Structure 1
Amino acid sequence: MDILYLMILCSVSLAAVFLVVFIVFARKGQFEDDESPAVRILFDSDEIKEKEESGNKNEEKKGDNNKFEEKSE
C-alpha cells in the first residue's frame, strides 16, 4: 500500500512540473503562431530560395520542360 502512495505522489508532482513548464512557455509566446508551421511544411525551401534569387530563370526552366513534354508525346 505504501508503494501506491509513492506512485500517486510521483505522478502528481510530474504533472505539476509539466503544467509549470507549459505555463512558462505559453507566457513566452511559444504557442502563438500555429498557422505558419503547418503551411511552411508544404513549400520546399530550395524552391523559395531560387524564386527569390532569380525570377526569370524559373520561367526558362518551365519552358524547357514544356518543350520536352511536347517532344515526348
Structure 2
Amino acid sequence: MESLYILIPIAIILVCVAGAVFIWAVRSDQFEDLERQGHNILLDEEEKPDNTKR
C-alpha cells in the first residue's frame, strides 16, 4: 500500500510527459507527411559518380 504513494505520482508524471511530447510533435508538424517516407523506399536511388582518385 505504501508503494502506491510513490507509483501514482510517477504514473501521473509519465502521462504528463507523454502528453507534452505528443503536443510538441503535433505543433512542430512531425505528423504532416506520414506517407512520404513510405514511398521513398520504393524509389531507386541515383548512383553518384565516384570522383575520388586512387
Aligned equivalents of 1:3 and 1:22: distance in 2? Answer: 28
RMSD: 1.8
- In structure 2, the partner of 1:15 is 15
Percentage identity across paired residues of the two chains? 40
Structure-2-length-normalised TM-score = 0.71
Structure showing greater Rg: 1
More helix by share: 1
* Correspondences of 1:1-73 after superposition (within 5 Å): 1-45=1-45, 49-50=46-47
Which ranges in structure 1 are unaligned for 5 or more consecutive residues? 51-73
More RCO (CA 8 Å, sep 6+): 2
State how many pairs are aligned: 48
